[in-house]
Amino acid sequence: MGLVVQKYGGSSVADAEGIKRVAKRIVEAKKNGHQVVVVVSAMGDTTDELIDLAEQVSPMPAGREFDMLLTAGERISMALLAMAIKNLGHEAQSFTGSQAGVITDSVHNKARIIDVTPGRIRDSVDQGNIAIVAGFQGVSQDKKDITTLGRGGSDTTAVALAAALDAEVCEIYTDVDGVFTADPRVVKKAQKIDWISFEDMLELAASGSKVLLHRCVEYARRYNIPIHVRSSFSGLRGTWVSSEPIEQGDQKVEQAIISGVAHDTSEAKITVVGVPDKPGEAATIFRTISDAEINIDMIVQNVSAASTGLTDISFTLPKTEGRKAIDALEKNKAGIGFDSLRYDDQIGKISLVGAGMKTNPGVTASFFEALSDAGVNIELISTSEIRISVVTRADDVAEAVRAVHSAFGLDSDSDEAVVYGGTGR
């Protein structure tokens, strides 16, 4: 039996009862013969409460001090969790990100892990302890300041530690049963996925699936650390994310043609109207955007109207960045040379993800037929080798997701894929 890293999110340790329940689960893994390293987030609403306090003393809390503040949250949950484990008769030690050797760059509030030197963690588990590590935090390499990793940072901490400790598996405990073929709040017949490849999971994460963040999956793929996403409440088998399918009992889990349908309504669309159709024009626009440190998603350039020599360029980006992008473009209007800007935040994106579409040319056609049958109008299209995404009206998203999910045989009561002769699920 090797070492396992378990990560528990804030909803799993929201109160003393939650902490005691999680402690029992951790002790269970230890009793099964594993060395156990646990990564824990702040309790329930702690982080929000700290942010609220910060806003009361300062309208724009500063990076370094904000990180110092927020990291108090994990310090509380990890110490309590260690106490709860000791109360069950097992040895446990808690460690801050800094003590655990989580070394980051100096970008406060969204630092990136650049090295993990888990000497103290290794010593602790070798001495028979369960090691509890604060998620979401590290220490900057140059200044030795406390940093935080940004949203979903605890998952990344867990995967990075699992890689550095050469763990068997990184178990991500959450409040859902795993990764689903679609968001179960939108598609009632969505099914839990037993196994999914790193590549498909990366595409789902990039397309709006919230269970795992892109950065965390990317890290796991790079170091080939299997992730097991599961519920801290039910204890059932969840979703394995790995390079090769995992055996489940006697059954071999096979690669699905389609892994799932993701959707995202957090983006807006900006259309730059009346752009001269000449080389370098798009470059000027997107240099302006990137200089403002805004990440964009899809880009479409309309066919130029020959009569005017002008064209339109549309792109999507997080709604939260909309104001900043408009300002940056307006400021550089003369340099770019466009007529006007159109901003539309009533859009939604639907993505179909699956490695099978590489070898099943019918997938794209079936996807558009399903949308058409549901009466959904398509505004933009973007594809990768294993994903196809469309932008629609935000109001159409739920219906579109259900239509596509059903058309590809992903609904839980259908035995066979109906659109083309795939493996089905």
Which range touches a copy of itself (CB under 8 A), out of 63-71, 107-115, 347-355, 358-366?
Answer: 63-71
Closer Cβ to a copy of itself, 14 or 341, answer by number: 14
Which range touches a copy of itself (CB under 8 A), out of 57-65, 159-167, 174-182, 323-331?
Answer: 57-65
What is the DSSP secondary-structure string of 79-131? HHHHHHHHHTT--EEEE-TTTTTEEE-S-TTS--EEEE--HHHHHHHHTTPEE
Q: Compute the distance between CA of residue 327 and CA of residue 317 in angstroms, rounded to an integer.
A: 14
Residue selected from 75, 189, 214, 319 as contacting a copy of itself according to rule CB under 8 A: 75
Residue type, 417: A
* Count of residues that bind a copy of itself according to CB under 8 A: 41
Q: How many C-beta atoms lie closer than 10 Å to residue 289's C-beta?
A: 20
Which range touches a copy of itself (CB under 8 A), out of 89-97, 166-174, 184-192, 331-339?
Answer: 89-97
Radius of gyration of the chain (CA): 24
Nearest to 386 by CA among 201, 242, 241, 217: 201
Q: x/- contact string, 302-331, with a copy of itself (CB under 8 A)?
A: ------------------------------
Q: Tell me the C-alpha to C-alpha distance, in Å, between residue 393 and each of 315, 344, 377, 397.
A: 15, 10, 8, 7
Smallest gap from residue 141 Cβ to a copy of itself (A): 15
The backbone torsions φ and ψ at residue 49, rounded to the nearest 5 degrees and listed phi first, read -65, -40
Interacting positions 386-415 with a copy of itself (CB under 8 A)? none
Smallest gap from residue 108 Cβ to a copy of itself (A): 12
Find tokens 């059903």 and name the residue: 406
Closer Cβ to a copy of itself, 84 or 419, answer by number: 84
Long-range pairs of 188-192 with CB within 8 A, sequence gap ≥ 24: 189/405, 189/406, 189/410, 189/411, 189/412, 189/413, 190/405, 190/410, 190/412, 191/410, 191/411, 191/412, 191/425, 192/238, 192/239
The backbone torsions φ and ψ at residue 296, rounded to the nearest 5 degrees and listed phi first, read -110, 165
Interacting positions 18-37 with a copy of itself (CB under 8 A)? 19-20, 23
Residue selected from 32, 58, 224, 234 as contacting a copy of itself according to rule CB under 8 A: 58
Q: Which helix (H) or strand (E) holds 397?
A: helix 397-407
Interacting positions 236-275 with a copy of itself (CB under 8 A)? none
CA dihedral sign of residues 230, 231, 235, 237: negative
Closer Cβ to a copy of itself, 93 or 232, answer by number: 93
Considering the rule CB under 8 A, would residue 173 count as an interface residue with a copy of itself? no
Interacting positions 96-155 with a copy of itself (CB under 8 A)? 96, 99, 120, 144, 146
Smallest gap from residue 414 Cβ to a copy of itself (A): 46
Smallest gap from residue 39 Cβ to a copy of itself (A): 15
Considering the rule CB under 8 A, would residue 72 count as an interface residue with a copy of itself? yes
β-pairing, 130-134 with 137-140?
A: unpaired
Closer Cβ to a copy of itself, 80 or 355, answer by number: 80
Residues that bind a copy of itself (CB under 8 A): 16, 19-20, 23, 50, 53-54, 56-62, 64-66, 68-69, 71-73, 75-76, 78-84, 86-87, 92-94, 96, 99, 120, 144, 146
